[in-house]
Amino acid sequence: MTVFPTPRGTLTPDRPLADLTWLRVGGPAKALFQPADHDDLAAFLRDLDPAIPVFPMGVGSNLIVRDGGLDAVVIRMGRGFNGISFDGTRVICGPAALDAHVARKAADQGLDLTFLRTIPGAIGGAVRMNAGCYGSYIADVFVEATAITRSGETVTLTADDLNFAYRSSDLPDGMVITEVTLEAPKGDPETLHQRMTDQLAKRDATQPTKDRTAGSTFRNPAGFSSTGRDDDTHELKAWKVIDEAGLRGHTLGGAQMSEKHPNFLINTGGATAAELEDLGELVRKRVLKHSGIELQWEVLRVGKR
């Protein structure tokens, strides 16, 4: 029997994770820990058996937890870690602050983080994945982050430490971000809010926002992003090569590649994590055969089959 430290926050052994992910699939974690505050998290990580891995989890928007569950303590940040404050043109966010909330509150202050408005998830995950949209990325506005190491030590991370790349960073395994500072360009609040309204309308018209998805399933080949500009081309977009391979709407059990946007993997109801992942792998195989392009997963897959 695993013995855990006694925190001030909430610790739940053998906690199922399916209801915490957007795709609603996955087995249990060894435990789910929701820390009360920074010090509670630091003490827990310090006192936890070093042999037990930890997995920081945001709102589960870009994640497949496999059916066998996760042999780790999942750390889920909630209240106490979702604050948003301002210091001039700097935006200081908790890791649980939703990307969309950060974009809206920044716009109220005349600060342009509008690219975050349509990105599902929270700021901690956005840093880890170098989230981006419309040609802008977290790396473009990142100043620094505070994090706690697996041994309970508090550190400051710079962009050089994280080595941002397309849809990735070098955040060490087990390290938990507790605060993020961004530097935002100035803009007119009304103009910024209108831009976000337009972005939302375009997203809703082109993406399956009412379905159970995890956002974009695969990275765009060669690191090209969808800028949303009128002169944008689509030769190297993931959705395009999936569509050309005849996989729009393709199903496997309860899993489906969206008819509306074929780079979105959907749980149509009752899908297992295995079905979702297997459909993704089938797509990768057929796209490689059809076009010679090897798609890379953007959705994170964790745990045991």
Average pLDDT over residues 155-178: 94
Q: Say which DSSP state 39 is in.
A: H
Reference 23, options 57, 61, 53; nearest CA is 61
Average pLDDT over residues 2-8: 94
pLDDT at 169 over 80: yes
What does the alpha-carbon distance between residue 39 and residue 80 come to, in Å, rounded to a whole number? 11
Confidence of residue 230 (pLDDT cuts 50, 70, 90): low
What does the alpha-carbon distance between residue 299 and residue 267 come to, in Å, rounded to a whole number? 14
Q: Is 85 a catalytic residue?
A: no
Span of 33-42, 77-86, 207-216, 232-241 with lowest mean pLDDT? 232-241
Q: Give first-to-last CA distance, the chain, whole Å.
A: 23
Question: Which entry of 61, 136, 169, 216 is annotated as an active-site residue?
Answer: 216
What is the reported pLDDT for 87?
A: 98
> Average pLDDT, whole number, for the chain?
94
What does the alpha-carbon distance between residue 258 and residue 153 come to, in Å, rounded to a whole number? 43
What is the reported pLDDT for 134?
A: 85
pLDDT at 225 over 70: no
pLDDT at 25 over 60: yes
Q: Say which DSSP state 230 is in.
A: T
pTM of the model: 0.91
pLDDT at 222 over 80: no
Confidence of residue 15 (pLDDT cuts 50, 70, 90): very high
What is the reported pLDDT for 123?
A: 97
Question: Which entry of 167, 195, 219, 284 is annotated as an active-site residue?
Answer: 167
What is the reported pLDDT for 218?
A: 96
What does the alpha-carbon distance between residue 280 and residue 287 come to, in Å, rounded to a whole number? 11
pLDDT at 29 over 80: yes
What is the reported pLDDT for 173?
A: 86
Average pLDDT over residues 134-146: 95
Express as a percent the part of the chain with pLDDT over 70: 95
Q: Is 167 a catalytic residue?
A: yes
Tell me the per-residue pLDDT of 53-78, one tens digit each, with 9 for 90 and over.
999 999 999 999 999 999 999 999 98
Q: Residue 93 is encoded by which pair of tokens? A: 């966010």
Strand partners, 64: 301
What is the reported pLDDT for 135?
A: 85
Confidence of residue 174 (pLDDT cuts 50, 70, 90): confident
pLDDT at 233 over 90: no
Q: Residue 169 is encoded by which pair of tokens? A: 């960073």
What is the reported pLDDT for 235?
A: 61
Average pLDDT over residues 96-105: 98
Q: Is 226 a catalytic residue?
A: no
pLDDT at 231 over 70: no
